[in-house]
Structure 1
Amino acid sequence: MLARPPVIDERPRVGNAIEAEGLIEAVSEALGALSHLVGEETALVKAGRLKDAMEREPRKSELAGIYMKGVEQIKLNAVALARFVPEKVKRLKAAHLAFQELIETNQAVLATARAVSESIVRDLAADANRPMKAAGYGPAATVGAGVFARPNAGPMVISKSL
Protein backbone atom coordinates (compact mmCIF):
# COMPACT_ATOMS: atom_id res chain seq x y z
CA MET A 1 0.00 0.00 0.00
CA LEU A 2 1.24 3.47 -0.79
CA ALA A 3 2.25 5.70 2.10
CA ARG A 4 0.82 8.74 0.34
CA PRO A 5 -1.74 8.92 -2.45
CA PRO A 6 -0.48 9.84 -5.90
CA VAL A 7 -1.01 13.46 -6.77
CA ILE A 8 -2.98 14.35 -9.88
CA ASP A 9 -2.14 17.92 -10.82
CA GLU A 10 -5.08 20.30 -11.08
CA ARG A 11 -3.82 21.86 -14.32
CA PRO A 12 -6.22 20.90 -17.07
CA ARG A 13 -3.80 21.04 -20.03
CA VAL A 14 -0.58 19.19 -20.81
CA GLY A 15 1.87 21.31 -22.76
CA ASN A 16 5.02 19.18 -23.08
CA ALA A 17 6.41 15.65 -22.77
CA ILE A 18 7.43 16.07 -19.13
CA GLU A 19 3.91 17.09 -18.08
CA ALA A 20 2.46 14.27 -20.19
CA GLU A 21 4.74 11.71 -18.60
CA GLY A 22 3.98 13.05 -15.10
CA LEU A 23 0.23 12.75 -15.66
CA ILE A 24 0.48 9.21 -17.04
CA GLU A 25 2.75 8.15 -14.17
CA ALA A 26 0.43 9.60 -11.52
CA VAL A 27 -2.61 7.90 -13.01
CA SER A 28 -0.69 4.62 -13.42
CA GLU A 29 0.41 4.81 -9.79
CA ALA A 30 -3.17 5.39 -8.61
CA LEU A 31 -4.41 2.54 -10.80
CA GLY A 32 -1.71 0.21 -9.48
CA ALA A 33 -2.54 0.99 -5.86
CA LEU A 34 -6.27 0.62 -6.53
CA SER A 35 -5.73 -2.70 -8.33
CA HIS A 36 -3.68 -4.00 -5.43
CA LEU A 37 -6.37 -3.00 -2.94
CA VAL A 38 -9.19 -4.55 -5.00
CA GLY A 39 -7.14 -7.75 -5.30
CA GLU A 40 -6.70 -7.85 -1.52
CA GLU A 41 -10.41 -7.25 -1.00
CA THR A 42 -11.29 -10.06 -3.40
CA ALA A 43 -8.96 -12.50 -1.64
CA LEU A 44 -10.32 -11.54 1.79
CA VAL A 45 -13.95 -11.96 0.70
CA LYS A 46 -13.12 -15.35 -0.85
CA ALA A 47 -11.56 -16.35 2.48
CA GLY A 48 -14.69 -15.23 4.35
CA ARG A 49 -12.91 -12.37 6.12
CA LEU A 50 -15.56 -9.76 5.35
CA LYS A 51 -14.67 -7.47 8.24
CA ASP A 52 -11.07 -7.23 7.06
CA ALA A 53 -12.26 -6.57 3.50
CA MET A 54 -14.59 -3.78 4.67
CA GLU A 55 -11.73 -2.05 6.50
CA ARG A 56 -10.17 -1.31 3.12
CA GLU A 57 -13.21 0.60 1.85
CA PRO A 58 -12.11 4.15 2.86
CA ARG A 59 -8.72 3.76 1.20
CA LYS A 60 -10.33 2.16 -1.87
CA SER A 61 -12.75 5.09 -2.17
CA GLU A 62 -9.89 7.57 -1.87
CA LEU A 63 -7.83 5.83 -4.56
CA ALA A 64 -10.85 5.45 -6.85
CA GLY A 65 -11.48 9.19 -6.58
CA ILE A 66 -7.86 9.98 -7.42
CA TYR A 67 -7.95 7.57 -10.35
CA MET A 68 -11.20 8.98 -11.74
CA LYS A 69 -9.81 12.50 -11.47
CA GLY A 70 -6.76 11.33 -13.40
CA VAL A 71 -8.89 9.68 -16.06
CA GLU A 72 -10.70 12.96 -16.57
CA GLN A 73 -7.34 14.73 -16.98
CA ILE A 74 -6.29 12.10 -19.51
CA LYS A 75 -9.50 12.58 -21.48
CA LEU A 76 -8.94 16.33 -21.57
CA ASN A 77 -5.38 15.83 -22.79
CA ALA A 78 -5.79 12.79 -25.06
CA VAL A 79 -4.32 14.44 -28.15
CA ALA A 80 -1.25 15.80 -26.32
CA LEU A 81 -0.65 12.50 -24.55
CA ALA A 82 -0.87 10.54 -27.80
CA ARG A 83 1.67 12.94 -29.32
CA PHE A 84 4.15 13.14 -26.41
CA VAL A 85 4.00 9.67 -24.76
CA PRO A 86 2.15 7.21 -27.04
CA GLU A 87 3.81 4.08 -25.58
CA LYS A 88 2.90 5.05 -22.03
CA VAL A 89 -0.69 5.66 -23.13
CA LYS A 90 -0.78 2.12 -24.57
CA ARG A 91 0.57 0.68 -21.31
CA LEU A 92 -1.99 2.63 -19.30
CA LYS A 93 -4.79 1.34 -21.54
CA ALA A 94 -3.56 -2.23 -21.04
CA ALA A 95 -3.41 -1.70 -17.27
CA HIS A 96 -6.92 -0.27 -17.35
CA LEU A 97 -8.21 -3.34 -19.22
CA ALA A 98 -6.54 -5.63 -16.69
CA PHE A 99 -8.15 -3.58 -13.92
CA GLN A 100 -11.58 -4.02 -15.54
CA GLU A 101 -11.07 -7.81 -15.47
CA LEU A 102 -10.07 -7.60 -11.82
CA ILE A 103 -13.22 -5.59 -11.07
CA GLU A 104 -15.37 -8.20 -12.84
CA THR A 105 -13.83 -10.94 -10.69
CA ASN A 106 -14.30 -8.81 -7.59
CA GLN A 107 -17.96 -8.20 -8.45
CA ALA A 108 -18.57 -11.93 -8.98
CA VAL A 109 -16.99 -12.75 -5.61
CA LEU A 110 -19.02 -10.04 -3.88
CA ALA A 111 -22.24 -11.25 -5.54
CA THR A 112 -21.54 -14.80 -4.38
CA ALA A 113 -20.85 -13.64 -0.83
CA ARG A 114 -24.05 -11.57 -0.88
CA ALA A 115 -26.12 -14.53 -2.15
CA VAL A 116 -24.69 -16.83 0.52
CA SER A 117 -25.35 -14.24 3.24
CA GLU A 118 -28.92 -13.71 2.07
CA SER A 119 -29.50 -17.46 2.01
CA ILE A 120 -28.21 -17.84 5.56
CA VAL A 121 -30.36 -14.96 6.82
CA ARG A 122 -33.41 -16.34 4.98
CA ASP A 123 -32.88 -19.80 6.53
CA LEU A 124 -32.43 -18.32 10.00
CA ALA A 125 -35.58 -16.23 9.61
CA ALA A 126 -37.55 -19.28 8.47
CA ASP A 127 -36.27 -21.27 11.49
CA ALA A 128 -37.10 -18.43 13.87
CA ASN A 129 -40.64 -18.11 12.50
CA ARG A 130 -41.37 -21.85 12.53
CA PRO A 131 -44.13 -22.81 15.03
CA MET A 132 -42.68 -24.13 18.26
CA LYS A 133 -45.56 -26.45 19.26
CA ALA A 134 -45.71 -30.15 18.68
CA ALA A 135 -47.65 -31.21 15.59
CA GLY A 136 -49.69 -33.76 17.58
CA TYR A 137 -51.59 -31.25 19.73
CA GLY A 138 -54.34 -28.74 19.01
CA PRO A 139 -57.44 -28.72 16.80
CA ALA A 140 -55.61 -29.93 13.67
CA ALA A 141 -53.86 -32.78 15.47
CA THR A 142 -53.55 -36.13 13.78
CA VAL A 143 -52.35 -38.17 16.74
CA GLY A 144 -52.51 -41.84 16.00
CA ALA A 145 -53.16 -41.44 12.28
CA GLY A 146 -50.19 -42.65 10.31
CA VAL A 147 -47.85 -43.00 13.29
CA PHE A 148 -46.00 -45.84 11.65
CA ALA A 149 -45.93 -44.17 8.25
CA ARG A 150 -43.12 -41.87 9.37
CA PRO A 151 -40.17 -44.04 10.43
CA ASN A 152 -37.86 -41.03 11.01
CA ALA A 153 -40.27 -39.03 13.14
CA GLY A 154 -37.80 -38.65 15.99
CA PRO A 155 -37.80 -39.85 19.60
CA MET A 156 -40.97 -40.26 21.62
CA VAL A 157 -41.27 -38.46 24.95
CA ILE A 158 -43.37 -39.90 27.80
CA SER A 159 -44.32 -37.90 30.84
CA LYS A 160 -44.68 -39.92 34.07
CA SER A 161 -46.09 -36.98 36.01
CA LEU A 162 -49.55 -37.18 34.44
Structure 2
Amino acid sequence: MAVADTQPGPPLRLTDRAGSLTFLKGLLAVMRDLEAALVRESEGVRAGRIAEAMTGAPAKAQFAAAYTTGLEAAKANAIALARFAPEELETLKLAQKRFAAVVETNQQVLATARAVSEGLIKALAEEVGRTRTPTVYGRPSHSPSPYGRGGANSGPLVFSRSL
Protein backbone atom coordinates (compact mmCIF):
# COMPACT_ATOMS: atom_id res chain seq x y z
CA MET A 1 0.00 0.00 0.00
CA ALA A 2 1.75 3.13 -1.20
CA VAL A 3 0.90 6.75 -0.61
CA ALA A 4 -0.74 6.87 -4.04
CA ASP A 5 -3.20 4.15 -2.91
CA THR A 6 -5.36 6.74 -1.14
CA GLN A 7 -7.51 7.26 -4.23
CA PRO A 8 -11.12 6.17 -3.77
CA GLY A 9 -11.95 2.92 -5.42
CA PRO A 10 -13.59 -0.40 -4.73
CA PRO A 11 -13.20 -1.54 -1.12
CA LEU A 12 -10.27 -3.84 -0.47
CA ARG A 13 -11.25 -7.45 0.13
CA LEU A 14 -8.59 -9.79 1.48
CA THR A 15 -9.16 -13.41 0.54
CA ASP A 16 -5.80 -15.14 1.10
CA ARG A 17 -2.64 -15.10 3.19
CA ALA A 18 -0.43 -13.52 0.51
CA GLY A 19 -2.80 -10.60 0.03
CA SER A 20 -3.14 -10.13 3.79
CA LEU A 21 0.63 -10.13 4.29
CA THR A 22 1.14 -7.64 1.46
CA PHE A 23 -1.56 -5.37 2.86
CA LEU A 24 -0.14 -5.43 6.41
CA LYS A 25 3.40 -4.86 5.13
CA GLY A 26 2.20 -1.80 3.20
CA LEU A 27 0.24 -0.44 6.15
CA LEU A 28 3.26 -0.82 8.44
CA ALA A 29 5.43 1.00 5.87
CA VAL A 30 2.96 3.91 5.75
CA MET A 31 2.92 4.02 9.56
CA ARG A 32 6.73 4.17 9.63
CA ASP A 33 6.75 6.99 7.06
CA LEU A 34 4.11 8.97 8.95
CA GLU A 35 5.89 8.36 12.25
CA ALA A 36 9.17 9.63 10.75
CA ALA A 37 7.40 12.76 9.44
CA LEU A 38 5.91 13.44 12.88
CA VAL A 39 9.27 12.97 14.60
CA ARG A 40 10.97 15.37 12.15
CA GLU A 41 8.22 17.92 12.71
CA SER A 42 8.46 17.61 16.50
CA GLU A 43 12.25 17.91 16.48
CA GLY A 44 12.11 21.00 14.24
CA VAL A 45 9.51 22.72 16.40
CA ARG A 46 11.44 21.90 19.59
CA ALA A 47 14.58 23.41 18.05
CA GLY A 48 12.66 26.55 17.08
CA ARG A 49 12.92 25.89 13.34
CA ILE A 50 9.17 26.19 12.75
CA ALA A 51 9.30 27.03 9.02
CA GLU A 52 11.70 24.17 8.37
CA ALA A 53 9.60 21.79 10.44
CA MET A 54 6.47 22.63 8.48
CA THR A 55 8.01 21.93 5.06
CA GLY A 56 7.07 18.27 5.45
CA ALA A 57 3.36 19.05 5.92
CA PRO A 58 2.25 17.98 2.40
CA ALA A 59 3.99 14.61 2.70
CA LYS A 60 2.63 14.21 6.23
CA ALA A 61 -0.89 14.84 4.93
CA GLN A 62 -0.44 12.20 2.22
CA PHE A 63 0.90 9.66 4.74
CA ALA A 64 -1.96 10.44 7.12
CA ALA A 65 -4.52 9.94 4.34
CA ALA A 66 -2.92 6.63 3.34
CA TYR A 67 -2.81 5.55 7.00
CA THR A 68 -6.48 6.40 7.53
CA THR A 69 -7.46 4.53 4.38
CA GLY A 70 -5.37 1.57 5.51
CA LEU A 71 -6.97 1.50 8.94
CA GLU A 72 -10.43 1.55 7.40
CA ALA A 73 -9.47 -1.35 5.14
CA ALA A 74 -7.98 -3.24 8.10
CA LYS A 75 -11.20 -2.79 10.08
CA ALA A 76 -13.27 -3.96 7.12
CA ASN A 77 -11.03 -7.04 6.76
CA ALA A 78 -10.43 -7.75 10.45
CA ILE A 79 -11.74 -11.31 10.28
CA ALA A 80 -9.64 -12.16 7.22
CA LEU A 81 -6.53 -10.62 8.76
CA ALA A 82 -7.03 -12.57 11.99
CA ARG A 83 -7.49 -15.76 9.99
CA PHE A 84 -4.75 -15.39 7.37
CA ALA A 85 -2.05 -13.40 9.25
CA PRO A 86 -2.55 -13.50 13.03
CA GLU A 87 1.15 -12.98 13.89
CA GLU A 88 1.48 -10.00 11.60
CA LEU A 89 -1.76 -8.56 12.99
CA GLU A 90 -0.17 -8.64 16.46
CA THR A 91 2.85 -6.84 15.00
CA LEU A 92 0.48 -4.18 13.67
CA LYS A 93 -1.13 -3.79 17.09
CA LEU A 94 2.27 -3.28 18.74
CA ALA A 95 3.29 -0.79 16.05
CA GLN A 96 -0.01 1.02 16.61
CA LYS A 97 0.80 1.49 20.32
CA ARG A 98 4.24 2.90 19.49
CA PHE A 99 2.70 5.14 16.83
CA ALA A 100 0.10 6.46 19.29
CA ALA A 101 2.92 7.54 21.62
CA VAL A 102 4.65 9.41 18.76
CA VAL A 103 1.39 11.15 17.84
CA GLU A 104 0.82 12.17 21.46
CA THR A 105 4.34 13.59 21.73
CA ASN A 106 3.86 15.52 18.48
CA GLN A 107 0.58 16.98 19.73
CA GLN A 108 2.20 18.05 23.00
CA VAL A 109 5.09 19.74 21.19
CA LEU A 110 2.71 21.59 18.86
CA ALA A 111 0.46 22.64 21.75
CA THR A 112 3.46 23.96 23.68
CA ALA A 113 4.70 25.91 20.67
CA ARG A 114 1.22 27.37 20.16
CA ALA A 115 0.97 28.40 23.83
CA VAL A 116 4.42 30.00 23.77
CA SER A 117 3.70 31.96 20.61
CA GLU A 118 0.33 33.12 21.94
CA GLY A 119 2.05 34.25 25.14
CA LEU A 120 4.66 36.15 23.16
CA ILE A 121 2.03 37.90 21.05
CA LYS A 122 0.01 38.81 24.15
CA ALA A 123 3.11 40.18 25.92
CA LEU A 124 4.07 42.14 22.81
CA ALA A 125 0.57 43.61 22.52
CA GLU A 126 0.62 44.63 26.18
CA GLU A 127 4.05 46.22 25.80
CA VAL A 128 3.02 48.11 22.67
CA GLY A 129 -0.16 49.26 24.41
CA ARG A 130 1.80 50.38 27.43
CA THR A 131 4.22 52.45 25.34
CA ARG A 132 1.35 54.12 23.47
CA THR A 133 -0.42 55.24 26.62
CA PRO A 134 0.67 58.76 27.54
CA THR A 135 1.26 59.56 31.19
CA VAL A 136 0.17 62.74 32.90
CA TYR A 137 1.70 63.39 36.31
CA GLY A 138 2.89 59.74 36.44
CA ARG A 139 -0.57 58.24 35.85
CA PRO A 140 -1.72 56.66 32.58
CA SER A 141 -3.99 58.96 30.65
CA HIS A 142 -6.18 58.37 27.63
CA SER A 143 -6.84 61.17 25.26
CA PRO A 144 -10.35 61.36 23.90
CA SER A 145 -10.77 59.78 20.49
CA PRO A 146 -12.93 61.39 17.84
CA TYR A 147 -13.81 57.85 16.72
CA GLY A 148 -14.83 56.52 20.14
CA ARG A 149 -12.42 53.58 20.00
CA GLY A 150 -10.57 53.86 23.28
CA GLY A 151 -8.01 56.54 22.59
CA ALA A 152 -4.32 55.80 22.14
CA ASN A 153 -4.65 52.03 22.45
CA SER A 154 -6.92 51.69 19.46
CA GLY A 155 -4.18 51.27 16.84
CA PRO A 156 -3.65 47.94 15.14
CA LEU A 157 -0.99 45.48 16.26
CA VAL A 158 1.16 44.36 13.33
CA PHE A 159 3.59 41.45 13.42
CA SER A 160 5.48 39.41 10.88
CA ARG A 161 4.39 35.82 10.18
CA SER A 162 7.62 35.07 8.33
CA LEU A 163 9.71 34.60 11.49
- What's the TM-score once normalised by structure 2's chain length? 0.77
Q: Which residue of 2 aligns with 1:133?
A: 134
Q: Which residue of 2 aligns with 1:92?
A: 92
Q: Which residue of 1 aligns with 2:124?
A: 124
Q: Which residue of 1 aligns with 2:70?
A: 70
Q: Which residue of 2 aligns with 1:154?
A: none
Q: Which residue of 1 aligns with 2:16?
A: 16
CA shift for structure 1 position 136: 2.9
1:45 to 2:40 alignment: no
The alpha-carbon distance between structure 1 residues 93 and 137, as it changes in their structure 2 partners (threshold 3 A), is closer
1:15 alignment partner, SS class: coil
| Rg comparison, structure with higher value | 1
Q: How far apart, CA to CA, are the structure 2 residues paired with 1:95 and 1:34? A: 12
TM-align CA RMSD: 2.2
Q: Which residue of 1 aligns with 2:110?
A: 110
CA shift for structure 1 position 132: 4.4
Which protein has the bigger helix share? 2
Identical aligned residues as a percent: 34
- Return 5+ residue gaps in structure 1 as ranges: 141-162
**1:63 maps to amino acid:** F
Q: Deviations over 1:80-111 (max 9, x none)?
A: 11111111111111111111111111111111
Could you tell me whether the CA contact under 8 Å between 1:20 and 1:81 is conserved in 2?
yes
Could you tell me whether the CA contact under 8 Å between 1:7 and 1:26 is conserved in 2?
no
1:33 to 2:33 alignment: yes
- What's the TM-score once normalised by structure 1's chain length? 0.77
Q: How far apart, CA to CA, are the structure 1 residues paired with 2:21 and 2:51? A: 38
The alpha-carbon distance between structure 1 residues 128 and 28, as it changes in their structure 2 partners (threshold 3 A), is same
**2:12 maps to amino acid:** P
2:15 alignment partner, SS class: coil
Tell me the number of residue pairs that the alignment of Structure 1 and Structure 2 aligns: 137
Q: How far apart, CA to CA, are the structure 2 residues paired with 1:139 and 1:67? A: 57
Could you tell me whether the CA contact under 8 Å between 2:134 and 2:140 is conserved in 1?
no
Q: How far apart, CA to CA, are the structure 2 residues paired with 1:36 and 1:139? A: 53
